[in-house]
Amino acid sequence: MSLVITDECINCDVCEPVCPNLAIYQGKEIYEIHPDKCTECVGHFPEPQCVAVCPVNCIIKDPAHPETEDQLLAKYQRLTSSPD
């Protein structure tokens, strides 16, 4: 699954800079995660970096975007591959 930021977000800005896929952005009221770019850091790190740094634990798996580890790895490969 990609991750989602809940409305408990305090806009502390620590998650956005640690995202290797640039999936996190400032939404209208809180930070948000673009599901097409989120790999839960699969391929980059052993754990999601945004979850590791979030001081209020408001980043959870997004039930609207279920993905397996293999699907996340395929997304990582697609996002990081250079165009031919």
**What separation, in Å, do the N-terminal and C-terminal C-alpha atoms of the chain show?**
28
The predicted pLDDT at position 1 comes to: 77
Which CATH number characterizes residue 54's domain?
3.30.70.20
The predicted pLDDT at position 25 comes to: 98
**What residues does 4 pair with on adjacent strands?**
60
Q: Are 67 and 58 in contact (CB under 8 A)?
A: no
How confident is the prediction along the chain (84 residues), in pLDDT tens digits per residue? Answer: 799 999 999 999 999 999 999 999 999 999 999 999 999 999 999 999 999 999 999 999 999 999 999 999 999 999 999 765
pTM for the whole structure? 0.91
Domain range holding 41? 3-80
Tell me how far apart the alpha carbons of residues 81 and 63 are, in angstroms, rounded to a whole number: 27
The predicted pLDDT at position 35 comes to: 96
Work out how many domains the chain is built from and give that number. Answer: 1
